[in-house]
A and B are shown apart, each in its own frame.
Chain A
Amino acid sequence: MTAGTVRAHAVAPPLPSRRSLLAARFRLAARRDPLGFAAVILALLLVLAALLAPVLPLPNPASLVAPAQQAPSLHHLFGTDQLGRDVLSRTIWGARHTLLTAALSTALAAVIGTPLGILAGYISGWSSGIMMRIMDVLLAFPGLLLALVVVTILGPGVCTVVLAVGISFVPVFARVGYGPTRSIRAQDYIAAARAIGCSPLRIIRHHVLPVLTSEIIVVVSSAIGWTTLLAATLDFLGFGIRPPTPDWGADLAAGVQYLGQAWWISAAPGIAITVTILLANYVGDFLAGMADPDRLTKRRSIVKDTSAMMAGDE
């Protein structure tokens, strides 16, 4: 017992509420990581634009509003496409479809992968080993290949893309759940909780999940960037949505043959995908900084984090 801990006991202030703690951390992170804060604002704006597309003053994304292949002008900020549809309107409407696909598949991967990882980390012995070997098998297929296998089985379509992208990211979330659970499992307080008769479910809920929550939120937000990329790739290859529904990947593919005359048709969705991936990464970094303020001083690199995540490597 040192003098420091005695003094801490003597003047211990009342514990701040969870909400005010989060707000304080948010302010701290915003001050130390202004770029991340800007990314959070921009990402919110992007989501807002996608949600509000029906009420925004935009021409119908599917109707022919002007002559085809008009260059960007005041009238049509992003120009018009090969059929004469407004490219800005298609890009914003496309965000609805692309981002929804990305969000749903990320949620699917998190909801399936994390419990599997926690379970494999919590139980020990051969069944845990088998579960992680199965994840190793899934990880032996690069994401796009696994997604293409799902497309082969289910046939092209919108739901297929969600499932395909979701399944290819299951191992990533399984890894997120597995590692920390393994190390928490070995702690003395878990042995104590078991000794007083806590059920495994209760231990997972009260001792494991709170530790994992911040990690999962961080991984989800960067994963949205990579699921956007994978979903856009599948749509680009023609395995997802059918025209004329606006979608970034599909519109990008449609514009490719007009590159020589009208570059803006594929430029708009291409930039949208790039910006989404960048924003998702910066927001992920920002949230990581909020979860663990020490990190902000070290400034972890996006690339190292995400490449390790994509490779499923801890």
Chain B
Amino acid sequence: MISFIARRLLVTVPVLFGITVLVFLILHVIPGNPAQILLFGSSPTPGQISALDKQLGLNGSLLDQYWRYLAQLLHGNLGYSYSSQQTVVSEIGSQLPYTINLTIAALVVAIGVGVPLGIVAGVRPGGIIDKVATGVSVLGVAIPYFWLAILLILLFAVKLRLLPALGTGSADSIILPAIALGWGFAAIITRLLRNNLIEVYGRPFMLVARAKGCSGWVLLWRHAMRNAIASTVTIVGLQVGYLLAGAVAIEVIFGRPGLGSFLVARIQEKDVPSIQGVVLLVAVTYLVVNLLVDIAHALLDPRIRQSWAR
């Protein structure tokens, strides 16, 4: 297991490195000099511009600048926001809790709806619940999440007046955004778990277990689920990054603060350090989650460990 983790880490490091290069380069491929953007409207002298360049760490060769960027990064410094003059770290820090809450709430919806529905549909394929679950999951994948968000606002906030539509004022204001963000994900889990269960139930060892007298519950929990859950966990991990990105549109629609609405606002203001900060954070989170999921998958399924040992 240790060697599996070591090998998996070894693959992650170059990707991590590549992410920092890409994020660093955002600043340099944007047309226009950052100092000029900052001093816009004040007709700066060349002296002012070069002084500001130096302050922003934009002097020297590209390689020099990258090493300085990396060094700052390792010290936990993501630079200063152009529009608010505060550190990017503190700005992101104030937005992060909202997005984490939303993502976790969406995960709860996705797993809470997807897993039971997938199990029921997979144990009795072709039954009524299976047909309903299949219909729901096909629609769930096809409906754009921002469109679902609008439908939910229309139904529960405008027509029925049950739940608040906008903002983060009360505790129940997270319900609609979480459903909108988690629904498509629930559909994927349902479909995947159902197909995996059907496949596992068809294997010979299940027949043996049944023949020696296992009850339905033991069959499901001890034999079928252990096989079916491993690949479901992988997809859950892969999709967490999409949840983080999907939060962008959801936060904008529901008027919630968070990384997503922060990112959209800062893209409009061309506030490059803030954009770099959010992009780096999301990409690294995605990478780390994938790493953890792969390790979890290897814990659940010894075959994975062996395939990496070769």
Contacts and interface: CB of A to CB of B under 8 A. Distances in A.
Interface string A271-314: 00110011001000000000000000000011110111011010
Contact of B144 (A145, A233, A307, A310): A233
A143 interface: yes
B188 A307 contact: yes
A241 interface: no
B38 interface: no
Contacts, number: 135
Given A133-B18, A301-B195, A236 B153 contact: no
A183 B23 CA distance: 34
A134 B22 CA distance: 10
A142 B144 contact: no
A124 interface: no
Nearest to B243: A142
B282 interface: yes
Interface stretch (A17-25, A55-63, A252-260): A252-260
B264 A237 contact: yes
Nearest to A229: B144
Interface residues of A, number: 45
Interface in B101-149: 137-139, 141-144, 146-147
Interface in B183-240: 187-188, 191-192, 195, 234-235, 238-239
A261 to B, nearest CB: 9
Given A304-B192, A311-B238, A137 B146 contact: no
Interface string B258-275: 000001100110101001
Contact of B286 (A133, A140, A153): A140
Interface stretch (B57-65, B81-89, B246-254): B246-254
A189 interface: no
A4 B137 CA distance: 46
A309 to B, nearest CB: 11
Given A152-B272, A311-B239, A259 B153 contact: yes
Contacts of B51: none
Contact of A303 (B19, B138, B252, B272): B138
B253 to A, nearest CB: 7
B26 interface: yes
Contacts of B253: 256
Choose among A259, A303, A308, A313 the residue with the greatest number of B CB atoms under 10 Å from its CB: A303
Contact of A152 (B30, B142, B192): B30
Contact of B142 (A142, A151, A232, A277): A277
A151 B244 CA distance: 18
Interface in A106-140: 133-134, 136-137, 140
Interface of B: 14-15, 18-19, 22, 26, 29-30, 137-139, 141-144, 146-147, 150-151, 153-154, 158, 187-188, 191-192, 195, 234-235, 238-239, 241-242, 244-246, 248-249, 252-253, 263-264, 267-268, 270, 272, 275, 279, 282-283, 286-287
Closest 8 CB pairs of A and B: A137-B18, A142-B245, A303-B191, A270-B147, A144-B245, A311-B238, A142-B241, A277-B142
13 contacts: A136-B15, A137-B22, A148-B267, A149-B279, A152-B30, A232-B144, A233-B144, A256-B253, A259-B158, A260-B158, A270-B151, A302-B138, A307-B188
